[in-house]
Structure 1
Amino acid sequence: MQSIGSPLMWSLFAAFVLVALLVDFFAMSKQGAHRVSTREAAIWSVVWVGVSFVFMGWIWWHLGGTSTDEAARAVANAKSLEFLTGYLIEKALAVDNIFVFLMLFTYFAVPAEFQKRVLMIGILGALVLRAAMILVGAWLIAQFHWILYVFGAFLLFTGIKMWWAAGQEPDLDNNPALKWIRSRFKISPNYDGEKFFTVNNGVKMATPLLVVILLIGIVDIVFAVDSIPAIFAITTDPFIVLTSNVFAILGLRAMYFLLANMHERFHLLSYGLAIVLVFIGAKMLLIDVYKIPVAFSLGFTAVTLAVTMVLSLRIPPKGAGGSAFPFASKKPDQPARHP
């Protein structure tokens, strides 16, 4: 499988991700457990988006975007566009991740000052999962071209399922993953700081914080299964696939705190994401009949998401005034809902 990723490009990318994570960990450990303000989240969100665009600009320049060679410029423009389209799609799907995280934090009444650590662990898990699944996906596509049709059908099914489930309140009480965790751990009814285990009446128990982290890990797997095929519909270049995914994930924690209080304003976004997934699935199924241009995919995705966000602001959600989540009225200082 052809890729623009030279050893130098892979090395620079790996070094950047490592430095970014170290800076994030250092900042988090220095600040300690605290409630992230909207201003802080907005600043970091802008920083991560800006860094992503700088990286895209570097790809364009490195591949010869300023060269007098028309062939080099064409490759630079094409790969930069692929990165931007993949980044936008993965960023949009990450918003759905955020709303699920919010639901979990609300259900378990996770104190705001502890949420940052949970999200950081979740992001690390997502990075490892995405890298592994992208490598496997790239190998499968290189060996078996027909796997693209499987990915396309899966995305089509996922998009239809997402449309059908949009607006419905998930039933966490009967969630199979939560039932499995309950059967494996004795769980404390209350938090004990940021500890994952505590002693309650002489019995060692898992805290609700550990349960939340385990559930977020499962969410990471589910969303990785959805998002990896989506990016392969845009490009099969492993370097572009992995870098666009990673940059979309790196800003996930800041974006969560920025959007945490805005989930009801974008109540129609799930419908837009469903349309995008159906479109991408159809694009993949038609790949040997007609290759939909990447520029069209970018425009379609951007317009669809923009329209659904605008409609969300203009059309009030059903039962306006209430919460979109079943336990949203719980306060962080209340005892956690027993897992």
Structure 2
Amino acid sequence: MELPLPLAFEITSIAVLTAIIVIDLILAYRRPHVPSTRESSLWVGFYVGLALIFAVIMFFVGGSEHAGQFIAGWLTEYSLSVDNLFVFVIIMARFKVPRKYQQEVLMVGIILALIFRGIFILLGAQLIETFSWIFYLFGAFLLYTAINQAFGNHDDEMESESRLIKFLRRHVAITDDYDGAKIRTVVDGRKVLTPIVIVFVALGTTDLVFALDSIPAIFGITQSAFIVFCANVFALMGLRQLYFLLGDLIDRLVYLKYGIAFILAFIGVKLFFHALHENEVFFINGGEHVEWAPEISTLTSLAVIVLSMAVAVVASLVKIRSDAKRSAAADANATLDRTVDDRELRD
């Protein structure tokens, strides 16, 4: 039985993480600009390094199991957060948000994501403590989400967001033009809201949906609400810079969704096994735990998560390179055909 982490360590960690988020928020608002590839790379590297340092500290404070759970949870949330990025790209394009102010808008989206996930973490932890059978529901939900991730699309989220936006436009005065990153502006002497408000609503709606997916997933790795929260914070903190680093590449990583779907399905199965191992449901094995149900280790989970994302990303990059070669060959053939046609016309 693993010992809980020291309370002083948890309080200090949350205080430091909160301070970093506040500083990041201030920097985003005081210096609106489009970060270069180098700047984005350095920030992403900084946050990844910070997460790894935190894991090392947790190893010495709480042992290898806690550190392993954090790394596995962080990687899971990081991979699921890439899905957030895909939708962020769609929202920014749909509402034509000026690129200069996208950092500020993204920061608000990330803060909303942290708030929603924090609420679901508290609810999830309480449910797990009170009802052990909730793992069956979490497992079923993750398997459903995995299927939807692999074979569905984001139309449902977009449709829900569109209904909210139509309602807002009917009942609230919103201008069609942006005024920098301001939420309110003055038009003909009258105070009205800017389209930034609509973008915030769109981000908040999708963040809520993604929180429903990600929290059951990480509770399949650890039941520590503190580790779950920290993994989410570290996964989301570098998301803004990752958005500018990857840019349009996100949409071209076509196999990424299958890697994410496999991770969700794997954790869903792991939750089912855990539920069977801890079974208290009277109509399953008479309310006794199921002997054959294996407990999948944190190390195994970590290996599956890393391998799934690596295979998905490499396969996507191979496809991008292959498509580029085919496109170049097609252009060369088209140029050759035009040259031949021109010669025939001259002759």
TM norm. shorter chain > 0.5: yes
State the TM-score, normalizing by the size of structure 2: 0.82
Question: What is the match of residue 42 of structure 2?
Answer: 43
Write the distance in 2 (CA, Å) between the matches of 1:290 and 1:107: 46
Equivalent residue number for residue 290 of structure 1:
294
Query: What TM-score, normalized by structure 1, do the two folds share?
Result: 0.84
Is the CA contact 1:166–1:271 (under 8 Å) kept in the aligned structure 2?
no
Higher relative helix content: 2
Bigger Rg, structure 1 or 2 = 2
Contact 1:38 1:257 in 2 (8 A): yes
* Contact 1:85–1:298 (Cα < 8 Å) also in 2: yes
> Among 81, 89, 104, which residue is 1:102 paired with?
89
User: Following TM superposition, by how much is the alpha carbon of 1:96 offset from its aligned partner in structure 2, in angstroms?
Assistant: 0.7
1:308 alignment partner AA:
A
Q: 2:32 is aligned with what amino acid?
A: A
C-alpha deviations, 1:2-43, integer Å up to 9, x for none? 87233201221122112202321342344x221121111111
Cα distance change of structure 1 residues 57 and 171 upon mapping to structure 2, 3 Å threshold: closer
The amino acid that maps onto 1:23 is: I
Q: Tell me, in whole angstroms, the C-alpha distance in 1 between the residues paired with 2:267 and 2:56.
A: 25
- The question of 1:62 aligning with 2:61 is answered yes
Question: Could you list the runs of 5+ residues in structure 1 that have no partner in the other structure?
Answer: 64-75, 323-339
Mapped pair 1:210 → 2:197: yes
Partners of 2:93 and 2:159 in 1: how far apart? 11
Is 1:156–2:143 an aligned residue pair?
yes
Aligned to 1:220: 207
Report the residue type matching 1:218 in the other structure: T
Equivalent pairs: percent with the same residue? 37
CA 1:164–1:319 in structure 2 vs 1: closer, same or farther (change >3 Å)? farther
2:145 and 2:264 in contact (8 A); partners too: yes
Q: Cα distance 1:226–1:187, how it changes in 2: closer, same or farther (>3 A)?
A: same
Cα separation, partners in 2 of 1:168 and 1:131, compared to 1, 3 Å: closer
Q: Distance in 2 between matches of 1:111 and 1:216?
A: 16
Return the offset for 1:198.
2.5
1:146 aligned to which of 121, 125, 133: 133
Task: Assess, with a 3 A threshold, how the Cα gap between structure 1 residues 268 and 177 changes in structure 2: closer, same or farther.
Answer: farther
Q: 1:259 to 1:184 in 2, by over 3 A?
A: farther
Following the alignment from structure 1 to structure 2, what is the Cα–Cα distance between the partners of residues 38 and 179? 36
Match in the other structure for 2:307: 303
- Contact conserved, 2:259 with 2:309, CA < 8 A, in 1? yes
* TM superposition shift of 1:267: 1.9
Give the aligned CA root-mean-square deviation in angstroms.
2.6
> Relative CO higher for 1 or 2, CA cutoff 8 Å, sep ≥ 6?
1
CA distance, structure 2, for counterparts of residue 170 and residue 245 of structure 1: 21
Matches of residues 1-339 of structure 1 in structure 2 within 5 Å? 4-30=4-30, 32-63=31-62, 76-166=63-153, 175-287=162-274, 288=277, 289-316=293-320
Unaligned runs of 5+ in 2: 278-292, 328-347
Q: Judge conservation of contact 2:73–2:228 (CA < 8 Å) in 1.
A: yes
Deviations 1:263-311 (A, max 9, x none): 2331221111111111111111121222112211111111111111111
- Secondary structure of residue in 1 paired with 2:32: coil
Which one-letter code corresponds to 1:111 in the other structure?
A: P
Which deviates more from structure 2 when the two are superposed, residues 117-126 or residues 92-101?
117-126
Whether contact under 8 Å (1:36, 1:112) holds in the other structure is no
Q: Number of paired residues?
A: 309
Structure 1 residues 170 and 23: alpha-carbon distance in aligned structure 2, compared to 1, 3 A threshold: closer
Amino acid at match of 1:139: Q
Alignment-derived partner of residue 67 in structure 1? none
